């Protein structure tokens, strides 16, 4: 899931997030809505907290928040600004998973989930589509057989972290340890070293970035999402959301588990798959794994 709650964040972290949201607002005003429209994070946890703070404190507070973001937690949270589609599209397109213009990469986060992942595997098999599954180490440890099945069916396993921690507090040592542990487990289960790291909530802090590099993983987020994690998501709403960012070279984010999402929300993503794949193919776009997507090939 990508919408981070800020409930456990400390005052300093909230100020930093408020500052970052201020920067985000400026970025959106300057560039218009980025790929996929207004980031969900900006509407959910992080920026709701930021919004409350900004409304209460007014312009002075916003300025102070920006200063806090820049000065107090700079290295930790400033890279997280790259979660904003407009920002990262301009500065670091490979982080968007931008790849071959004739292809779309299909990715799933938050599994493996013994209750729901097999349903996605069956649907993908029917569609003759291979995808990339960003798994959590602690979940893969509980379901290694399911991880082996994902790999055996031709899909790619990648690292979403060991657990689905919120990003607001800097924990660089733990980040390094846990990303390395998750990468080692994925390698043991899938039989090949993973290539990619997508941080929980899509927030790439400095610590997470360093942890990915130390583990030999390439950070990658997405350029289109289905907002399939919400309680009111439906196959149609997921299709409509993905369509906003769907173009050649796009990387699509969905979830094969509701463990971090609204209960039952996986049905929306699962139900959207046949239509989504059909739409890509009608537009002449092949759907597949990040490994086949040519991310960063032009860099």
Residue positions counted in the chain: 299
Side-chain half-sphere exposure of 37, counting CA atoms within 13 A:
11
Beta-carbon count within 10 A of 110 CB? 27
Q: Which of 85, 15, 83 is nearest to 50 (CA)?
A: 15
Single out the catalytic residue among 76, 96, 100, 109: 109
Span interacting with Zn ion, options 81-89, 197-205, 269-277, 283-291, rule CB under 5 A: 197-205
- Least distance CB 266 / Zn ion (angstroms): 13
Nearer CB in complex with Zn ion: 22/194: 194
- Least distance CB 150 / Zn ion (angstroms): 16
DSSP at 53: H
- Least distance CB 201 / Zn ion (angstroms): 6
Site string for Zn ion, 83-122 (x = CB under 5 A): --------------------------xx------------
- Least distance CB 86 / Zn ion (angstroms): 22
DSSP at 228: T
Single out the catalytic residue among 76, 155, 160, 255: 255
Span interacting with Zn ion, options 3-11, 48-56, 91-99, 196-204, rule CB under 5 A: 196-204
| 255 catalytic per annotation | yes
C-alpha 121/C-alpha 142 separation (Å) is: 18
- Whether residue 101 contacts residue 249, with contact meaning beta carbons closer than 8 Å, is answered with yes
Helix, strand, coil in percent for the chain, rounding step 5: 55, 10, 35
Rg over CA atoms, the chain: 18
Strand residues in 83-122 grouped as ranges (E):
103-111
Residue 91 CB contacts under 8 Å (≥ 6 apart), including other chains? 82
- Least distance CB 283 / Zn ion (angstroms): 28
- Least distance CB 171 / Zn ion (angstroms): 17
Nearer CB in complex with Zn ion: 100/109: 109
Span interacting with Zn ion, options 8-16, 97-105, 170-178, 194-202, rule CB under 5 A: 194-202
| 110 catalytic per annotation | no
- Whether residue 49 contacts residue 20, with contact meaning beta carbons closer than 8 Å, is answered with no
Task: By CB under 5 A, tell whether 1 contacts Zn ion.
Answer: yes
Q: Which of 274, 282, 263 is nearest to 238 (CA)?
A: 274
| Residue 60: Cβ-neighbour burial (10 angstroms; 0-12, 13-18, 19+) | exposed
Pairing of strands 103-111, 132-135: parallel
Nearer CB in complex with Zn ion: 110/258: 110
Span interacting with Zn ion, options 1-9, 151-159, 211-219, 278-286, rule CB under 5 A: 1-9
Q: How many residues bind Zn ion (CB under 5 A)?
A: 4
Q: Which residues bind Zn ion (CB under 5 A)?
A: 1, 109-110, 200
Residues with catalytic roles:
109, 255
């Amino acid at each position: 899931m990508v919408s981070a709650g800020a409930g456990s964040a400390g005052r300093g972290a909230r100020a930093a997030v408020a500052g970052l949201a201020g920067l985000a607002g400026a970025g959106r005003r300057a560039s218009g809505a980025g790929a996929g429209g207004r980031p969900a994070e900006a509407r959910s946890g992080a920026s709701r907290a930021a919004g409350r703070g900004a409304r209460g404190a007014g312009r002075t507070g916003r300025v102070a928040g920006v200063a806090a973001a820049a000065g107090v937690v700079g290295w930790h949270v400033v890279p997280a600004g790259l979660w904003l589609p407009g920002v990262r599209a301009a500065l670091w397109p490979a982080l968007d998973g931008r790849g071959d213009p004739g292809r779309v990469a299909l990715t799933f986060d938050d599994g493996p989930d013994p209750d729901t992942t097999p349903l996605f595997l069956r649907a993908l098999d029917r569609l003759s589509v291979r995808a990339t599954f960003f798994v959590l180490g602690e979940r893969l440890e509980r379901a290694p057989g399911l991880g082996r099945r994902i790999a055996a069916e031709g899909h790619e396993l990648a690292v979403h972290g060991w657990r689905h921690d919120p990003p607001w507090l800097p924990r660089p040592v733990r980040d390094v340890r846990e990303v390395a542990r998750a990468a080692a487990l994925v390698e043991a289960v899938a039989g090949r070293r993973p290539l990619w790291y997508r941080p929980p909530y899509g927030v790439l802090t400095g610590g997470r970035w360093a942890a990915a590099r130390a583990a030999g993983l390439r950070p990658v987020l997405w350029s289109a999402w289905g907002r399939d994690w919400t309680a009111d998501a439906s196959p149609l709403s997921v299709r409509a959301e993905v369509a906003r960012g769907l173009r050649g070279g796009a990387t699509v984010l969905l979830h094969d588990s509701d463990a971090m999402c609204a209960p039952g929300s996986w049905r929306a993503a699962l139900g959207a798959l046949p239509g989504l794949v059909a739409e890509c193919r009608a537009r002449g776009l092949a759907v597949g794994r990040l490994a086949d997507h040519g991310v960063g090939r032009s860099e």
